Structure 1
């Protein structure tokens, strides 16, 4: 989900796009005051209540959204690390070991799982499969070639690592931008073209700053990837360019804050808090993390913000498109997590993710294909290129049924 220009933002609000919806879709008609509604007592009243309430303001439910979509889990990790002087490592004290273990758990649950969820999103959806199923197969082949090149042509190893790291900034920021817009549409907070451009400008400025900094400052351009491979520093950009891009980022943040305040004063419309949390988390991180950025971004933000966010959104879409039980409305979609359907979905993506990201490179190492670092890095390159590129295709889809399901 990384197309920066979330396509529904260029047209009418998704909730108003005329289209034939799936049989399970419950067209919102928010003509009744929600305060006057009572709890549903039957399947029919559940559906009627959902129609009257309009689009569900959350993706799965408030607790899950705030923790795993809006950044709550990540900021709790940030607070804990701050209070313990950023102790982290297997060889550290008990607290440092606990944070290390937490990061590893996040990696194998959220990080490994969110990449196969991309293919589930494509091939588990008839609409998406018909639209981009063939291009995604080609993407997988190209990504495989990149992984093999990383493994066997050592001159390309660092190139593909740098490519994935830079592309990752764009991918994660763009996903947050798209999800922030989903929250806005769900809560009928409509942005005009200028306001959307201001928000997008902040996203783009953050992305550019992070990429430039990676190639201008050594402290942010080298680290041990996957705790296995020492990424070398490529000093291809001057430091003054990093300073200039930081100024642009700061200006973009001021412009965004000004836009939000102006809209509240002029229209009495406050941007939804979930949207603010989603859009500001990755923008705030490089501004406040200092020298701890690599630890916070690569070891915690990736799992407890970006990857978990992706899994929540893709699972909600899968549940809606598949069709909810007759007595479950979109406002009760969180219940699906504890059904056989929900457990099977997450069981598959977690198992496939672990097999691809960990078991496969471990086997490659054991049979002597290459050393451990190269085996893991090659699979990492393959999975990430496939994920980033496929996700860009997904967010370019303009199908009105998909748009409705996202904001319902």
Structure 2
């Protein structure tokens, strides 16, 4: 039986009852989309007031101004920006407080991390999960990534679960109500091994914000600005997380953004092993456009499907151009290139090569952990979205393939 999921209402979306409820509730309760409102709420949530260096305020204002000026943005989308900024700035306050009380955190070493980089939907999540299954290594599940530093008064619930886990579980339930296709698009359950880009969000940085909001001016600022300080900010958070563990384990990280930020990445993690995944960029692009166009039904008053096609085509091209331009900054003995099809069909061989490149012993225990993960996370576990650009959006894919051909030529 086919598990293909076909969406037929991209251009004229029909909202589910839950989606209408979320959107209408936001319309009845518009947020005060101002910096003062965000900052005050973050302070009230944590009881703390020291945000550390205040350069983040200008970047926050860029986001607030751009989303605030978008006449096509729903109140739900405006409320989402307000909520996310409050969450990440509360995390910034907690992080700053911990660092002030424990300056020794800055002495923690982050050595030889294994960093997965590749286009979105190019196998990065699957590969990260296989590596992170090895309990000798340190990765970040979503429940921890979205709040790396717990409040000092946080107590486990009756069953001993971290309150951050409980909150993440509740968020995942609501997210699936809002987007019933979220699991096949990209699972975000509490145990999902998350991207380290989350650690740059409290610095109000990274390309993360492009995925949530239509902010081309923010993109231009991000691409024109040296991102090294934000990678350093994230590394300090890794140091804090390692310090909280009290155990020294080697980190496994992943984010597609790294593809276009290789100079910053290698400046901050000079001894990293960088594992690049390679896939036909059209497969990645089709998935990116499909997900963002679908989510437009609760983010946009009128979904501009053509905008999503143009925007994400341009972003895939710019990501790949940066990779081709800068991949030389990764030393040959610190990189491994993984073909998507080979990862899918001969994953064991890929993992053996990766372990050898990382200088790790592939033990029977680590094999068993990886096999258990693979068995519980089969491909298309939640179904497969039909994301054909030509069929769903009337796009001439041959023209786009021609625009992206330079990448295939470079990696062939």
What's the TM-score once normalised by structure 2's chain length? 0.26
What's the TM-score once normalised by structure 1's chain length? 0.26
Higher relative contact order (CA closer than 8 Å, sequence separation 6+): 1
Greater percentage in strand: 2
